[in-house]
A and B are shown apart, each in its own frame.
Chain A
Amino acid sequence: QQQVKQSPQSLIVQKGGIPIINCAYENTAFDYFPWYQQFPGKGPALLIAIRPDVSEKKEGRFTISFNKSAKQFSLHIMDSQPGDSATYFCAASLIRGNKLVFGAGTILRVKS
């Protein structure tokens, strides 16, 4: 069974829009929640990450919102650009980032 559920599967927004990708997890022992960005033909690369003692983290145009009681977290991309078009994966892990459990991924297309 999928321990991290991600939605939507795909998303199309206009340039400047704010795509939001949502994830929900089951295991309350998870202690690290990263988001990875993957371009076609490349490996995933860490975009931003959060720990469960923080409710929000911003890095540039990317923000993670974290709701511990609901066991949900989401990625917001402010002022989205065509160069943000990629597949985004949420993930969760135990033990300091070992054994990542990934969501199914969201294919984002930003139209210019």
Chain B
Amino acid sequence: NAGVTQTPKFQVLKTGQSMTLQCAQDMNHEYMSWYRQDPGMGLRLIHYSVGAGITDQGEVPNGYNVSRSTTEDFPLRLLSAAPSQTSVYFCASKLAGGREQYFGPGTRLTVT
């Protein structure tokens, strides 16, 4: 199993550009989520999904969109990037009945 994979590993965007961060898992996990990590603030939940076709907002959803068309994939879209979105983004997944979340390796995003 590859576990949770994320692409790209690094990305630089200009203010106003859009892009999609990709996340995939091969563990047949129902629950998937996106977090951003900023110094001194830990990880904060952006959006999550409890299954295909079902998404909901987390703590910091503004400026981000998600969709979940398959169990395996959970892309995160930035419609109009802002410098405040400069961060490291982590995708995670877990079984619906489980407690442990498995994190991907992260995407470091810089918005100039």
A residues touching B (Cβ–Cβ < 8 Å)? 2, 4, 6, 9, 32, 34, 36, 41-46, 49, 89, 93, 96-105
- 6 A-B pairs with C-beta separation under 8 A: A4-B42, A32-B99, A43-B105, A44-B90, A97-B100, A99-B58
Asked whether any CB of chain A lies closer than 8 Å to the CB of B78, the reply is: no
Asked whether any CB of chain A lies closer than 8 Å to the CB of B53, the reply is: no
A46-B42 contact given A98-B48, A99-B58, CB 8 Å threshold: no
CA distance A36 to B100 in the complex (A): 10
* Number of A-B contacts defined by CB within 8 Å: 64
Size range of the chain B interface in the assembly:
20 to 34
- Contact partner of B100 (CB less than 8 A), chosen from A6, A34, A103, A105, is A34
CA distance A2 to B43 in the complex (A): 11
Instruction: Name the residue on B nearest A96 (C-beta).
Output: B99
A-facing mask of B40-79, CB < 8 A → 1, else 0? Answer: 1111110010100000001100000000000000000000
- Contact partner of B44 (CB less than 8 A), chosen from A41, A49, A102, is A102
A44-B98 contact given A98-B31, A98-B50, A99-B48, CB 8 Å threshold: no
CA distance A34 to B98 in the complex (A): 13
A102-B98 contact given A44-B103, A45-B103, CB 8 Å threshold: no
The listed residue with most B CB atoms (<10 A of its CB), out of A2, A36, A44, is A44
A104-B45 contact given A32-B99, A43-B105, A97-B100, CB 8 Å threshold: no
